[in-house]
Structure 1
């Protein structure tokens, strides 16, 4: 499955990330490259957004942003290089709208929606290795570069959590533990709760439903922590989530199916971005938002991400009983 996940402000993405290039330009006629990329060695294809920003004298930035020709370089070359190798991999310029990644409407022109693409089968990115981004803009401008370490795949630790999950009382808790490798710094943990639901019109016909519980959207790895990451999940919090996410019902029956656990990790670059962006927003601050970029010139974020889905987690018999009859969820009519 291929992903296109660009982030400029918040971590989360993790399930559909978008690119934001919203900033004020004060310099006139200065070429400012804007780059966003989240490389995941497990993806089938890798996409990088490369744009430019400038403001001509007396111009209106919002009007210019609606002109597609003003957003993109005419003759740019985007390449990736494995650090330690001389081989360069040139990405293909494609229209994201035709790749299944339409750009959301707003300040910037939506068509064409140029991205730079390379298939994983053509570059074979590997977790733990270093990769360099290179943008050549032409016009005798210096190349724009950035280097990152690609994230290793996330390895779940056995029986953490156990399957089936024991949430038989509100006092119980379980551990989620996993090894994301040494370079992952921020984590997003979600539970997708799958269930069936019928309707009064068709009581014998059940339709699949799901709700997503965001346990943690910006879990940061502590300095000096071991390779494994541990997150504790409280039973009462789980049932409280269900009581708020699913409407009470007396006219329909619901049946629990299972839980899919989703874990996403991103690199140090995004952790730094979030930390810097929030560093000057306190009550005594000047409210001037600092700028973070790991590009050699311009703005943007070049980083790595990876995720894992652990499907099919069950609740044990006593947990199902608590779901059906417990005071937090008995009005949801699970049978």
Structure 2
């Protein structure tokens, strides 16, 4: 579900590699360049920081990128400091020590073996601090003993997201045919980047088994005009487009009957900071005649991005009767064998009795 994370990582690798090739004078004395990637989210149970080094050598860049020793440091220290800046103060209230681990990585240009990443599992915000998240700044410090070098960055967390639609007064959602459903929220301070993912739960029934399934429908990214907060924003979901997505991502099989789960819809919001939005905008390909774009980094003593993101879910919304009947008979989805509303109600009653 972490679409923003994945998209940014793609941009990060691209701009990091580009910076190494175009901004470094190959005839200049060797210089260590640290590349940092990290996004803090107080809702995450594990916090990750990726630290690599840019490289120069006699071999081709692609050959060197495939060697883990070309991109990894050895024996570095990664710290995160929580600083209370309320009332003009600058008090460090907690220090987080990050440990290193090796994570699996998909094959590609960069080395897949010894893919080192740094992590910490401690909570960024306690329950007593949750109403005053804006009082805290998180400062990253990476110490590289080999070069007696400090790399630093800092970020605020994104504190909240106010969603006005859907709400508790609207138990069912209409998404049939050409109808549109408008999801509405208010932008939050310190953020500019917003993406909604619609999660869809359903059952598959065969002659011998009943299994629950889940599919995510990503919507386009929305960008607020400012990062001051208070801006009314919305994302429109078209029923026909949603049906088409289901048809394209669920396999039609005459031997499988499908039934919508009673609380079948999850509205999942991902929010990105102003720095994150700037990084993505600067790193994306240019559509104009001038292809060269300025690099963006908020890392002191290195390059990359250290910022914040936030996620919020409104789970368990129901589709209304008209939408469930439309799923069963629409030319877009009738090949998926979704049951009509009457049969769906009967199945729900059976499931509820079993529970």
> What TM-score bracket applies, with the shorter chain setting the length?
0.7 to 0.9
CA–CA separation in structure 1 for the residues paired with 2:124 and 2:74: 24
CA–CA separation in structure 2 for the residues paired with 1:42 and 1:17: 23
More helix by share: 2
Checking the alignment, whether the CA contact within 8 Å between 1:93 and 1:114 is kept in structure 2 is no
SS in 2 for 1:306: strand
1:133 equivalent in alignment to 2:140: yes
Matches within 5 A, 1:194-213: 194-199=201-206, 202=207, 204-213=208-217
CA–CA separation in structure 1 for the residues paired with 2:68 and 2:287: 37
Name 1:214's counterpart in structure 2. Answer: 218
What TM-score does the superposition give when structure 2 sets the normalisation length? Answer: 0.77
Deviation by residue 1:213-257 (Cα, 9 ceiling, x = unmatched): 1122x2111236625532222323322322333344444311111
1:13 equivalent in alignment to 2:15: no
Q: Alignment partner for residue 115 of structure 2, among 97, 113, 116?
A: 113
Matches within 5 A, 1:273-312: 273-278=279-284, 281-285=286-290, 287-312=291-316
Deviation by residue 1:158-210 (Cα, 9 ceiling, x = unmatched): 6448321123x5343322223463122112211122212234xx2x5222233
CA apart distance, 1:31:
0.5
Name 1:147's counterpart in structure 2. Answer: 154
Deviation by residue 1:23-71 (Cα, 9 ceiling, x = unmatched): 3343451100010001111122211111112214x34434433443343
CA–CA separation in structure 2 for the residues paired with 1:66 and 1:249: 42
Name 1:157's counterpart in structure 2. Answer: 164
SS in 2 for 1:120: coil
Matches within 5 A, 1:1-335: 11=4, 13=6, 20=13, 21-23=16-18, 24-25=20-21, 26-27=24-25, 28-56=29-57, 58-83=58-83, 84-86=90-92, 89-97=95-103, 102-121=104-123, 127-128=133-134, 129-138=136-145, 141-157=148-164, 159-160=166-167, 162-167=170-175, 169-179=176-186, 181-199=188-206, 202=207, 204-216=208-220, 218-223=221-226, 226-257=230-261, 258-278=264-284, 281-285=286-290, 287-335=291-339
CA–CA separation in structure 1 for the residues paired with 2:288 and 2:123: 50
CA–CA separation in structure 1 for the residues paired with 2:333 and 2:62: 49
Checking the alignment, whether the CA contact within 8 Å between 2:42 and 2:125 is kept in structure 1 is no
SS in 2 for 1:314: strand
**Please, what is the CA RMSD of the aligned residues?**
3.1
Checking the alignment, whether the CA contact within 8 Å between 2:12 and 2:283 is kept in structure 1 is no
CA apart distance, 1:15:
11
Structure 1 unaligned regions, length at least 5: none
Structure 2 unaligned regions, length at least 5: 84-89, 340-355
Deviation by residue 1:143-167 (Cα, 9 ceiling, x = unmatched): 2222211111334336448321123
What TM-score does the superposition give when structure 1 sets the normalisation length? Answer: 0.81
CA apart distance, 1:139:
5.1
